[in-house]
Structure 1
Amino acid sequence: MPTPSRLLSRRAILLGAAVAVLPVAGRAAPPPGWRLMMVESPACHHCRAWHAQIGPGYAASRAGRAAPMIHVDVDGPYPDGLALDRRPWITPTFVLLSDGFERGRVEGYVGARHFHPVLEAMMREAGLSLPGAPG
């Protein structure tokens, strides 16, 4: 039978290990695969325009099927583990991520007419295949 001091030291080790794991377990990691991260601000009128004009159909679009969107406030918090070229400061900024690494970026909103062509060109340049795209 273990002595009380030895039992206490085992409990202390287990408690210490559990406490060390908790901060890691509670953090949000970037989702795996291709994602489009929209960095926005509640005060951004271009962000509101994007949400009104593009947002409702984005998930069903070729780009949306290839790179589902995650939304992040410009002031954070950002998902842990991101490898960005630089911190976004223009809103909206659309950052193409592959397993958490930045592969491309569009800063600002170019309007409903040009958004998908600009975004899809950036995606193709990054090596992302778009569903239903020719060739």
Structure 2
Amino acid sequence: MYHSMARKLLKSMLLCGILSAAAFAPAAARAAELLMFERDGCVWCARWDREIGPIYPKTDEARLLPLRRINIDRDKAADLGLASPVRFTPTFVVIDKGREVGRITGYINDDAFWGLLGILVAKIAPSPHPNHTERGLAQRKAS
């Protein structure tokens, strides 16, 4: 019961931040992006592709943080503003205004991903409004 309530609260906080960011920070939305570091044969990258990949482009998160994929074995990334090298895949790094805001190393499941991404979104988005709750989550689940 407590796990379910905590998950709903976390999702509500995530959605509030995203909706606020979309409404009040259009310039920040253009400056920020989500980098996904991956490699061929990564089973966790493939799982993310199945569970999140089709949904992500349709979300408020994608409008705020467009996804850019980087294969660490093939792509020689220029200076991306990373705080430290990426060694594990998948690793998701939020970049805003040329600097790393934070990262998610690994992928466990969709709930963990959205929750951790929400924490990173909150670092670049204005403070959330309490009246925005489950609307964005329902949008993702319906897709």
TM-score range for the pair, normalised by the shorter chain length:
0.5 to 0.7
User: Which residue of structure 1 lines up, in the alignment, with residue 105 of structure 2?
Assistant: 107
| Counterpart selection for 2:114 from 95, 113, 116 | 116
User: Which residue of structure 2 lines up, in the alignment, with residue 84 of structure 1?
Assistant: 82
1-structure distance, mates of 2:64, 2:104: 16
Any idea what the Cα deviations from partners look like across 1:16-36, whole Å, max 9, x if unmatched?
xxxxxxxxxxxxxxxx61000
TM-score normalised by the chain length of structure 2: 0.63
2-structure distance, mates of 1:51, 1:129: 29
Whether the 8 Å CA contact 1:38–1:95 is kept in 2: the answer is yes
Aligned-residue identity in percent: 28
Larger Rg: 1
Whether the 8 Å CA contact 1:63–1:116 is kept in 2: the answer is no
The CA deviation at 1:95 is: 0.3
Describe how 1:11-22 pairs up with structure 2 within 5 A.
Answer: none
1:52 and 2:57 aligned: no
The CA deviation at 1:129 is: 4.7
User: Which residue of structure 2 lines up, in the alignment, with residue 24 of structure 1?
Assistant: none
2-structure distance, mates of 1:84, 1:114: 22
* Structure with the largest fraction of helix: 2
Q: Where do 5+ consecutive residues of structure 1 fail to align? A: 1-31
The CA deviation at 1:63 is: 1.3
User: Which residue of structure 1 lines up, in the alignment, with residue 14 of structure 2?
Assistant: none
Letter in 2 for 1:60: K
Letter in 1 for 2:119: A
Q: Where do 5+ consecutive residues of structure 2 fail to align? A: 1-29, 131-143
Letter in 2 for 1:122: L
The CA deviation at 1:71 is: 0.2
Q: Secondary structure at the match of 1:56?
A: coil
Whether the 8 Å CA contact 2:96–2:124 is kept in 1: the answer is no
User: Which residue of structure 1 lines up, in the alignment, with residue 64 of structure 2?
Assistant: 66
1-structure distance, mates of 2:126, 2:49: 24
The CA deviation at 1:113 is: 2.5
